[in-house]
Amino acid sequence: QVQLVESGGGSVQAGGSLRLSCAVSRYTYMPYCMGWFRQAAGKERERVAGIDTYGRIDYADSVKGRFTISHDNAKNTLYLQMIGLKPEDTAMYYCGARTLIGGACYTAHDYTKWGQGTQVTVSS
């Protein structure tokens, strides 16, 4: 089964930047899709950005123009570059993967494997 380990979270001031990483291991085939999700205190987990096996990318409206998702095949690592961070971006950020072939990759329920998460805190 695919193993995902996030890193790169931390505390920054509004307007700052962070780069999150998700190391992917213990796989035979690349996941059908991978994505970044976040969950704030008392809120449901929401999709931030996703990329499928064909390289198609989608972002949540709230982060378009500020966040960039990418994948380094050589390093087996998924990244989320975040700039112009806002206090409302504060959340636990999770890396997710869908290991089943086909299907949707838009909600947390579509993903079959998760990392432990990395905390992002943005102060005003």
Q: What is the mean pLDDT of residues 105-117?
A: 92
- Position 1 scores a pLDDT of 80
pLDDT at 40: 97
Report the SS3 class of residue 109.
helix
What pLDDT, on a 0 to 100 scale, did the predictor assign at position 32?
A: 86
Asked whether residue 27 carries a pLDDT value surpassing 80, the answer given is: no
Q: What angle do CA 91, 101, 38 make, to 5 degrees?
A: 5
